[in-house]
Amino acid sequence: MEKVQRIKSRVIPLPIKDVDTDMIIPAQYLTSISASGYGANLFRRLRDQDPAFPFNKPEYARASILVADDNFGCGSSREHAVWALLDAGIRAVICKSFADIFFNNSLKNGLLPIKLPHAAVDNILARSLTENYVLCVDLEAQEVACPDRPALKFDFDPFRKHCLLNGLDDVQYIQSYAAQLAEYRRESALPWNP
């Protein structure tokens, strides 16, 4: 998993509530168990229906911060939605709230989900729809630096913060304690008494 520390990027605005996982990656594109290859079909239906959809615009081609409205990632529990965002270069999603399963899938795959107050998200969406709006997300400091206001602080679970900063998924986190686990096994082994 790639480390997540500091992300500076133009914002991709998605002022839509209740973006579900089928909107993020439609079911007909779920053809692999690999995490790669899904980015090409990120928001496929919306992109095909609307030439002005943000992911069709060249100015957002290299952007890595997506800002959406409320209840992002609702719907089915498919991990592919997170994989598609990451494969398309999105490293952070900022919104008012996330669906729980999507939020946890994000953390376990290296996508940074950030919840900010409603007014802050509304302001970011409004500004990013009309200008080249750049944010800097600093996970270590737990803040989002905005060009037109003081930095916005956000809460974050310390364990998940550690994992993201160090690029550790759940298995890699356990493996990082391999030496301590081996020592514990040696110390706690009972002698065999025939």
Two tokens, residue 4: 């997540």
Q: What is the pLDDT of residue 25?
A: 96
User: What is the per-residue pLDDT for 112?
Assistant: 98
Instruction: Give the 3-state secondary structure of 15-67.
Output: CCCCCEHHHHCCHHHCCCCCCCCCHHHCCHHHHHHCCCCHHHCHHHCCCCEEE
On whether residue 154 sits in a domain, the answer given is yes
pLDDT of res. 193: 52
The reply to whether 171 falls in a domain is yes
Using CB atoms within 10 Å of the CB of residue 53, give its burial: 0 to 12 exposed, 13 to 18 middle, 19+ buried.
middle
Tell me whether residue 74 is in a domain. Answer: yes
Task: Please report whether residue 193 resides in a domain.
Answer: no
CB contact at 8 A, 39 and 87: yes
* pTM for this model (two decimals): 0.91
Give me the helices (H) in the chain, please: 21-24, 44-49, 80-87, 100-109, 118-130, 158-166, 170-175, 178-188
Other beta carbons within 10 angstroms of residue 15's beta carbon come to 15
| Integer-rounded Cα radius of gyration of the chain | 19
Asked if residue 1 belongs to a domain, the reply is no
Q: Which pLDDT value is given to residue 77?
A: 85
Distance CA 53, CA 34 (A): 27
Q: Residue 78: what pLDDT?
A: 87
Q: How many domains does the chain have?
A: 1
User: Which pLDDT tens digit goes with each residue over 168-183?
Assistant: 999 999 999 999 888 8
Q: What is the CATH number of the domain that holds 95?
A: 3.20.19.10
Per the domain annotation, does 194 fall within a domain? no
Predicted confidence at residue 166, as pLDDT, reads 96
Q: Which two tokens stand for residue 128?
A: 């990013």
Looking at residue 154, what is its pLDDT? 98
Closest CA to 164 of 121, 104, 112: 112
The pLDDT value recorded for residue 33 is 83
Cα 93 to Cα 21, 54, 186, distances in angstroms? 14, 15, 44
Q: Which residues of the chain have pLDDT under 70?
A: 190-194
Per-residue model confidence as pLDDT tens digits over 142-174: 999 999 889 999 999 999 999 999 999 999 999
Domain that includes residue 150, residue range: 6-188
Has residue 166 been placed in a domain? yes
